[in-house]
A and B are shown apart, each in its own frame.
Chain A
Amino acid sequence: MCDTCGCNVTRGNQHLVTGDGKLARTEDGRAAITVLQSLLTENDHQAVHNRQHFDNREILAINLMSSPGAGKTALLEATIEALGDEFSIAVIEGDLETENDAQRIRDKGVPALQISTGSACHLDAHMVHDALHELDLDGIDIVFIENVGNLVCPASFDLGQHRNITLLSVTEGDDKPAKYPVIFRAADLVLLTKADLLAVLDDFDPEKAEQYVRQLASEAPVLQLAARRNVDIDSWLDWLRDEVAEQRKRVKKKLTLRPAIQPEGLILHADHKHDHHLPHSHTHTHHKPHSHS
């Protein structure tokens, strides 16, 4: 998807834009227009806005995705313990119900905002935007967005984050990246969690899990750790430190970063021009009701 204008030109549909123009008449006299816009255009606009919010404050925003119970909150608890003196951290928690996870984070002395999504299976950019207005972001270095535990839906929604992390706990099976390619392909980092259990599990091969990630044409690092026991968390902490440093450099250069980018749309954009008659005509309603299933 193209960041610049919200449209979505790929090799698969390029012929439509290079045709005879956008408004045409069909044989029976009806009007037809070529649109070529992402179905999530409004979400994507909001996500761009959220990212500007983070960039203006030199904040690194990270989206954590996994199935329920893979250890996202435990990872955050261990990270806050280890880096609480080094960085100011804030957390946005997404869950269908309860304040439990936000409370676990607050118990570590870090501000946390719980988004209760009701029956919604994912966070979207509008929910995150509303949450950002309720969080005091002054002096914050890192905002973690803990998405709803779900290996399917969260992958389709840009929230305005800079990096995606997908967690895979070793109790889940090493072929999860092959079964849920969309969410693992979106990952800038894959964390194999609860790795202390590998000693008692004979059916999870970390190398195989990594191979499945590579088969998604992903070069994302695959790290193992056991956050609750503080085992092997140093590589993860180093990755995070590097990312904070990179984000500061980017902000100084007035650059930003979208996770899991697909450069193809931008390449095609350089080749030809097409009209965008819609993207900026919609209205933003920040407190729009969300009814998802």
Chain B
Amino acid sequence: MHELSICQSLIDQVEGLARDNQAVAVKTIWLQVGPLSGAEIPLLEHAYPLAAVGTVAEDAKLLIESIPVRVRCKTCGEESEASANRLLCGVCNDYHTELISGDEMVLSKLEFDTQTH
């Protein structure tokens, strides 16, 4: 249950960006989270309102994009989709692979108002 810590860190970042951009209200926050980040999307969604209360992002919508696990094989060079606990090459089945995506835990985009309506 470290997702609350992660959301608190997210809010710190969002508040900094809101200040830098003279935002009065953050409307939407886009995250990208991969299964190998160690964070669970439903738990982030549950923890977010607790971290956001009383901040510029209090009413923001949180949209989390799940990023698939993909690997590139160091042996045959092919790229393929994999699952979090089987990072084998989908073509030749070798375990000498490197992760291309799937460990992201990223604030990708923010949408905000710069004046009160």
Contacts and interface: CB of A to CB of B under 8 A. Distances in A.
Interface of A: 8, 10-13, 16, 23, 26, 30-43, 120-122, 124, 152-153, 155-157, 177-179, 181-183, 185, 212, 214-219, 262-264, 277-278, 281-282, 290-293
Contact of B38 (A8, A182, A219): A182
A30 B111 contact: yes
B20 A42 contact: no
B98 A217 contact: yes
B21 A33 contact: yes
B55 interface: no
Contact of B4 (A16, A215, A293): A293
Contacts of B20: 277-278, 281
B70 A41 contact: no
B39 to A, nearest CB: 7
Contacts of B6: 39-40, 156
B108 A34 contact: yes
Interface string B18-32: 001101000100011
CB-based closest 10 A-B pairs: A12-B101, A153-B2, A156-B38, A217-B87, A181-B85, A182-B38, A12-B67, A32-B111, A178-B85, A217-B97
Contacts of A34: 108-109
Contact of A217 (B17, B27, B96): B96
B105 A35 contact: no
Nearest to A40: B9
A33 B20 CA distance: 11
Contact of B23 (A31, A291, A293): A31
Nearest to A211: B95
Given A31-B113, A293-B5, 17 more contacts: A12-B68, A13-B67, A33-B109, A33-B110, A37-B107, A39-B6, A41-B13, A42-B12, A42-B13, A155-B38, A156-B38, A156-B39, A156-B105, A212-B85, A278-B16, A292-B2, A293-B1
A152 B5 CA distance: 14
Contact of A32 (B37, B106, B109): B109
Interface in B12-66: 12-13, 16-17, 20-21, 23, 27, 31-32, 34, 36-39
Kindly name the residue among A122, A181, A217 whose own CB sees the greatest number of chain B CB atoms within 10 A: A217
Nearest to B84: A181
